[in-house]
């Protein structure tokens, strides 16, 4: 585990000295700022008498504005993890040190989760702004962030797997975009299909996931899904890295 910590520290260090980190974080904040402004405007103009929708529940997954940027930002954040090491040749130095593939992957994954957190921590200010002009259900805000964290657990794991499979960073980003886009599309099936398929799509839906968490409902079925996908993707990443030695 100590090796995983060393790998994670290096990954974060190199991420936060790269221009990429600041381009991503700045554009993310511009994007979420605009989203929050649009939603606040919308709810201010259309005083919704019924329902539990608020600018904050809208912000946390109530609209496609939440997911579409994530489908781009997640691949950009995760594409470097293993693919950059493979491209620059440093993977050879890393894998000939006395460090197991398991430690490497967990270290990289830990770094990815910290990157995910840095995307979201500044958004707390939107809850604070709302609280200055109206009432905020802090329980729902808490469960929204918990939902965001759980979503990150599986988004980042999928991105990590794609970065482990792909020969280059660009291919890793494209693969992650396709994988997450497909998972997003499956969720849309909830509104199109009938019967059992509809149930399955609802269960897999990231939209449904965030919709429930943003209302303060922590649905354990979504948690089971998030953690299973994350564990599967991390496990597969370890297996892919191990298999590389036999390439």
Partner 1 sequence: MIEVDALSKRYGTQLAVNEVSFRVERGEIVGFLGPNGAGKTTTLRMLTGYLAPTAGKIRIEGIDAVRSSLRARTRLGYMPEGVPLYREMRVHEYLHHRAALKKVSEARAAVDRALVLAGVTDVKNRIVGQLSKGYRQRVGLAEALIADPPLLILDEPTSGLDPNQVRQFRELVRGFGGSKTVFLSTHILSEVQAVCDRVIIIREGRKVADITLDQTTKLEDMFAELTTSGIAEESP
Q: Which is nearer to partner 1, 45 or 245 (CB)?
A: 245
State the number of binding residues for partner 1 (CB under 8 A): 25
Q: Which stretch binds partner 1 (CB under 8 A): 74-82, 83-91, 158-166, 227-235?
A: 83-91
Q: CA 172, CA 34: separation in Å to the nearest integer?
A: 28
Q: Token pair for residue 168?
A: 């280059």
Q: CA 184, CA 200: separation in Å to the nearest integer?
A: 13
Q: Which is nearer to partner 1, 133 or 242 (CB)?
A: 242
Task: Name residues whose C-beta falls within 8 Å of residue 62's C-beta, 6 or more positions apart in sequence.
Answer: 39, 53, 210, 211, 214
Q: Which of 49, 50, 132, 246 binds partner 1 (CB under 8 A)?
A: 246
Cα distances (angstroms) measured from residue 125 to each of 4, 16, 32, 37, 140? 32, 22, 11, 12, 15
45 binds partner 1 (CB under 8 A): no
3 binds partner 1 (CB under 8 A): yes
90 binds partner 1 (CB under 8 A): yes
Per-residue binding letters, 213-232, with partner 1 (x by CB under 8 A): --------------------
236 binds partner 1 (CB under 8 A): no
Of residues 98-127, which lie at the interface with partner 1 (CB under 8 A)?
A: 98-100
CB 209 within 8 A of CB 72: no
13 binds partner 1 (CB under 8 A): yes
Task: Name residues whose C-beta falls within 8 Å of residue 184's C-beta, 6 or more positions apart in sequence.
Answer: 67, 71, 206, 207
List contacts with partner 1 (CB under 8 A). 2-3, 6-7, 9-10, 13-14, 17-18, 88-90, 92-100, 245-247
């Amino acid at each position: 585990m100590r090796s995983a910590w060393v790998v994670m520290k290096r990954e974060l260090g190199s991420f936060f000295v790269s221009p990429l980190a600041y381009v991503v974080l700045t554009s993310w904040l511009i994007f979420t700022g605009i989203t929050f402004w649009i939603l606040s405007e919308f709810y201010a103009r259309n005083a919704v008498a019924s329902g539990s929708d608020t600018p904050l529940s809208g912000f946390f997954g109530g609209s496609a504005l939440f997911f579409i940027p994530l489908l781009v930002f997640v691949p950009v954040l995760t594409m470097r993890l293993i693919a950059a090491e493979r491209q620059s040749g440093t993977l050879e130095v890393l894998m000939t040190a006395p460090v197991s593939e398991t430690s490497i992957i967990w270290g990289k994954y830990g770094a990815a989760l910290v990157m995910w957190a840095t995307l979201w921590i500044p958004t707390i200010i939107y809850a604070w702004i709302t609280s200055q002009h109206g009432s905020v259900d802090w329980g729902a805000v808490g469960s929204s962030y918990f939902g965001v964290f759980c979503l990150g657990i599986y988004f980042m794991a999928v991105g990590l797997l794609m970065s482990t499979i792909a020969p280059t960073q660009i291919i890793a980003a494209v693969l992650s975009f396709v994988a997450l886009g497909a998972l997003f599309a499956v969720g849309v099936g909830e509104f199109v299909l009938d019967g059992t398929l509809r149930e399955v799509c609802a269960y897999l839906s990231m939209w449904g996931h965030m919709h429930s968490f943003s209302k303060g409902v922590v649905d354990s079925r979504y948690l089971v899904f998030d953690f299973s996908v994350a564990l599967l993707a991390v496990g597969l990443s370890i297996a892919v890295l191990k298999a590389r030695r036999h390439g």
